[in-house]
């Protein structure tokens, strides 16, 4: 009897060791991803907000699994969805405000992003969405939930090893620098960029103070090549009437901002001990798509898939509007947001940079 018990205990011990080994080898080096910013990382946080900036209606999400308009501002997945899948964490990065997210799901990451948000508080206020400060408050709430479920030590370790993705700034320049509202910024592009960089530095510092160490920060895209900006630009006095061309000055401004952003990240990495700052160069990737579309399988670069592709976005991209048959041939889904296919190309660049800088 004693011999059988010893054999059983030995087998049990071996099985436990085996399971622990499997668990260790399968565990990703980045255990969670937490995203902050605008519609480029919003998987549905705006769904319950009183704002026109929502993507929880058809035809949004038509190529998402189950053809569900989850609230993502695209026809399918976002780059952060692909990112967590590539990292081996889970299939999608859910919205923090999605009531179905469990504490266990929370511990592998969520997005706090809100479509229409920006680094400038005025951007979020005017658009009726979650400001960066509100997103930070939601993160604090999420960490309290994780601590209650898994303990303070595990929570701190999770935050230290997690990747913090920040993708924001486009709405600020579109609405407050190039916009036609009374809130349009009155200073130069350079001065406004300095303000945004200052706000971003403060936000990263706040996350660092909470224990975050790994950051992936996206630069501005070629704003002047967004279909909406090209449409508006075609009516400008200095343009060739009704010609669809990228707005060169806006692209120059985007590059100038990105240069300042890269300098900021370099400075922060040198000044914040044990931090890792990775710059996601969205500009170069998207410009390569626009100038070399066939390299990525794209055929249409100047218009979105939804409606005319010139102005439709959010509440203007709805059921009844004509849409392209194959969104994978388009860089843009609506007049501002990339398609699932474009986000996949962007996420591939994310992975290459993370391999280079974090490992």
- In the DSSP assignment, the letter for residue 88 is T
pLDDT of residue 182: 57
pTM: 0.90
pLDDT of residue 8: 41
Distance, in Å, from the CA atom of 139 to the CA atom of 125, rounded to the nearest integer, reads: 19
Distance, in Å, from the CA atom of 21 to the CA atom of 69, rounded to the nearest integer, reads: 39
List the chain domain ranges. Answer: 33-358
Q: Which of 309, 314, 311, 316 is nearest to 333 (CA)?
A: 309
Kindly report each contact of residues 94-101 with a partner whose C-beta sits within 8 Å and lies 24 or more positions away, as own/partner.
94/43, 94/44, 95/42, 95/43, 95/44, 95/45, 95/47, 95/70, 95/71, 96/45, 96/138, 96/139, 96/142, 97/44, 97/45, 97/47, 97/48, 97/138, 98/43, 98/44
Superfamily of domain 33-358 in CATH is SGNH hydrolase (3.40.50.1110)
Q: Rounded to 5 degrees, what are φ and ψ at 61?
A: 80, 10
Active site amino acids: 39, 334, 337
- In the DSSP assignment, the letter for residue 130 is -
pLDDT of residue 24: 33
pLDDT of residue 6: 47
Query: Per residue of the chain (359 residues), what is the pLDDT tens digit?
Result: 444 444 444 444 433 333 433 333 334 589 999 999 999 999 999 999 999 999 999 999 999 999 999 999 999 999 999 999 999 999 999 999 999 999 999 999 999 999 999 999 999 999 999 999 999 999 999 999 999 999 999 999 999 999 999 999 999 999 999 986 555 667 789 999 999 999 999 999 999 999 999 999 999 999 999 999 999 876 665 545 567 899 999 999 999 999 999 999 999 999 999 999 999 999 999 999 999 999 999 999 999 999 998 998 999 999 888 999 999 999 999 999 999 999 999 998 888 888 877 66
Beta bridge partners, 163, equal 33, 214
**CA triple 101-102-103, angle to 5 deg:** 125
pLDDT of residue 3: 44
Show the tokens assigned to 322: 């004509």
């Amino acid at each position: 009897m004693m011999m059988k018990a010893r054999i059983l205990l030995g087998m049990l011990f071996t099985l436990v060791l085996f399971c622990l080994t499997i668990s260790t080898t399968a565990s990703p080096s980045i255990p969670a991803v937490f995203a902050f910013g605008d519609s480029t990382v919003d998987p549905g946080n705006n769904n319950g907000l009183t704002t026109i900036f929502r993507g929880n209606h058809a035809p949004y999400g038509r190529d998402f699994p189950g053809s569900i308009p989850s609230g993502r501002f695209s026809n399918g997945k976002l780059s952060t969805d692909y990112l967590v899948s590539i990292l081996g964490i889970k299939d999608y990065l859910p919205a923090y405000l999605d009531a179905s997210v469990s504490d266990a799901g929370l511990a592998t990451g969520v997005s706090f992003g809100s479509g229409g948000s920006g680094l400038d508080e005025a951007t979020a206020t005017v658009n009726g969405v979650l400001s960066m400060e509100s997103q930070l408050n939601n993160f604090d709430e999420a960490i309290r939930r994780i601590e209650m479920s898994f303990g303070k030590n595990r929570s701190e370790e999770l935050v230290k090893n997690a990747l913090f993705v920040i993708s924001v700034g486009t709405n600020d320049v579109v609405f407050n620098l190039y916009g036609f509202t009374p809130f349009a910024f009155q200073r130069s592009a350079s001065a406004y960029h300095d303000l945004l960089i200052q706000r971003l530095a403060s936000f990263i510092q706040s996350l660092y103070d909470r224990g975050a160490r790994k950051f992936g920060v996206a630069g501005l895209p070629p704003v002047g090549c967004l279909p909406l900006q090209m449409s508006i630009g075609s009516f400008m006095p200095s343009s060739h009437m009704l010609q669809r061309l990228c707005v060169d000055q806006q692209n120059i401004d985007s590059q100038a901002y990105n240069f300042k952003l890269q300098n900021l990240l370099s400075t922060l990495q040198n000044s914040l001990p044990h931090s890792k700052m990775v710059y996601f160069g969205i500009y170069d990737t998207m410009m390569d798509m626009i100038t070399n579309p066939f390299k990525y399988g794209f055929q249409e670069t100047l218009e979105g898939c939804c409606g005319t592709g010139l102005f439709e976005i959010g509440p203007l991209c709805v059921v009844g509007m004509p849409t392209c048959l194959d969104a994978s041939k388009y860089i843009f889904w609506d007049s501002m947001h990339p398609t699932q296919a474009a986000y996949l190309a962007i996420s591939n660049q994310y992975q290459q940079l993370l391999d280079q800088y974090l490992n």
